[in-house]
Amino acid sequence: MDSAQAEIAAAAARLVVEEGLEYGPAKRRAVKQLRLPARAALPDNDAVEDAVREYIALFCADSQPAELEALRRHALTWMERLAQFRPHLAGAVWHGTATRLSDIYLQLFCDDPKSAEIALIEHGVDYQPRTVTGFNGRPVEALSLSSLCPGLGEPVGVHLLVHDHDDLRGALKADARGRVPRGDMADVAALLEEAR
């Protein structure tokens, strides 16, 4: 990684932690803030994640662990509510880089893709549906809602990405760094127990 990419990664990390931006928008905004050419080579997401971890260690070490725990506990609550859809936690809350500005991303693996949406309707949950690109590169339905996180005392975004049940087979393959990219309820409970 060249020095411009390292600079973009560091600037993007600050935006991720301080403003809650996702990696893509944070990298693009970092390029503008640094007054680099629009076509500047961007760092990959692993480089940004490393920079986020460094930023948290330097500036948020006193508050981030408690915020992460609160988000993981809230994610586990939603996973228990949606247990029939085989929920898996992904993103910053799973990887340990989340702060109070981070959203919770749950991937559901359903026999019937509409069943999760029907369950939300039956329980009177207000949500916004949209289509996003899933981890397998295909479009999936995302059901986004706001939910009060008791540990933080404020609402957080919860995004339910609805995958086909068969997608679960490839969902637990390790990433380029050898990490599992998502975890089920038992995995999240184990992370919470580890942090004690």
Q: Domains of the chain, with CATH numbers? A: 3-59 (no CATH), 64-194 (3.30.460)
Banded model confidence at residue 26, pLDDT cuts 50, 70, 90: very high
Express as a percent the part of the chain with pLDDT over 70: 99
pLDDT at 172 exceeding the cut of 80: no
Determine contact, residues 7/48, Cβ cutoff 8 Å: no
Mode of pairing for the β-strands spanning 104-110 and 154-164: parallel
pLDDT at 91 exceeding the cut of 80: yes
pTM recorded for the entire structure = 0.92
